Amino acid sequence: MLEFDGFGPEKVLIVHNPKIGLRGFVVIDNTALGPGKGGIRLTKTVTLEEVAKLARAMTWKNALAELPFGGAKAGIVADTDIPSKERKAELIRAFAQAVKPLVPEYYVAGPDMNVSQEEMRIFAETIGDNKACTGKPKELGGLPHELGSTGFGVFHATKVAADFLGLDLNGAKVAIEGFGNVGGFAGKFLSEAGAKLIGVSDIKGLVYNKNGLDYEKLIEARDKKGSVIAYDGEKQILPNHDIIKLDVDILVTAAIPNLIQAHEVNLVKAKLIVEGSNIPMTQEVEEMLAQKGTLIIPDFVANAGGVISSYVEYIGGTEQEMFKLVEEKITRNTKLVLEKAKDTLYTRAAALTIARERVLEKCEWCKP
């Protein structure tokens, strides 16, 4: 059941093409600041309710990043856990044809789970407009997410938060949940800053070494053997969910939603959690963690690097301009949120207050 309030959603489009087995949806949450911006998620389990929540998160993320975009999100229900390249192309092409009336005036697409720059090429070509989406290949003027903009932003959010806690990143113990595009690049920049990666998980398990893991070997295991558990070095292999229990200074979430449940709060030892993934826990769980002294950088603050990169692509900027703007905006807004939340550590409430104020300033029809 969709929830509506004074901010939105403004438009909901449900797409069904029985001939090719396409089921999908677009939720345009709020366009007060500009066209709705948000990626296309392609999974077996994606639902309209999930997409609506993510669209609202994009409203706040774009507002907090001070971008001329509203919030939106799309979802396509996949047939299998890992759709083939050909099947993804078929689904994206049909989906683009179905949503064409909304694009790009009301909706600007981008990559999300199981959707890459190649699918964005198909989307843009089907719509017939390069402004239809971001995350396109370079030859189409794109700044693909494979450049690591989101992970780069997560790193800078972590850097600011560690400084706020008086924690030296050089030598800090870090665990990363998920080692795809976001977690992999976050790990790269954190290890370059001297942080010690002691636990990294993916769908197949958790590789752990209390003395530290070599970043390059983790990447080699992931890319050549399909999982970090193939890491070539001293290690323990544990269940992937054990990532939340590790004795670390910093936990970076970069994969699944609802990672930490309320009954698991006391198992979390990390002093700092940086949400590279979307909705890795409920607001209730965040508040419980804050009460026990854990600092959390919310998803729409920490992982905004991707949409900041999208904006730079949208206006025709360069890679160098993108990295510069990601660093500037993530650093500034993380500091702003931490300053507002310094007495309570309820960082999401602080960030939401800032984002809502920015939307309300431009939104004539919104009701707080």
Domains and CATH numbers, the chain: 11-64+71-142 (3.40.50.10860), 149-357 (3.40.50.720)
Residues with a catalytic annotation lie at: 73
Angle between helices 305-314 and 319-340 (to 10 degrees): 140
pLDDT tens digits in sequence order for the chain, 368 residues long: 788 999 999 999 999 999 999 999 999 999 999 999 999 999 999 999 999 999 999 999 999 999 999 999 999 999 998 899 999 999 999 999 999 999 999 999 998 889 989 999 999 999 999 999 999 999 999 987 778 999 999 999 999 999 999 999 999 999 999 999 999 999 999 999 999 999 999 999 999 999 999 999 999 999 999 999 999 999 999 999 999 999 999 999 999 889 999 999 999 999 999 999 988 999 999 999 999 999 999 999 999 999 999 999 999 999 999 999 999 999 999 999 999 999 888 999 999 999 999 999 999 888 76
Q: Is the CA virtual torsion 165, 170, 171, 174 positive or negative?
A: positive
What is the chain's mean pLDDT, rounded?
A: 95
Rounded-to-integer distance, Cα 30 and Cα 53, Å: 12
Nearest to 120 by CA among 139, 101, 134: 134
Rounded-to-integer distance, Cα 208 and Cα 239, Å: 10
Place of tokens 């949120």: 337
pTM: 0.91
Q: Is the CA virtual torsion 136, 142, 147, 148 positive or negative?
A: negative
285-335 confidence digits (pLDDT tens): 999 999 999 999 999 999 999 999 999 999 999 999 999 999 999 999 999
Rounded-to-integer distance, Cα 216 and Cα 80, Å: 31
214-228 confidence digits (pLDDT tens): 999 999 999 999 999
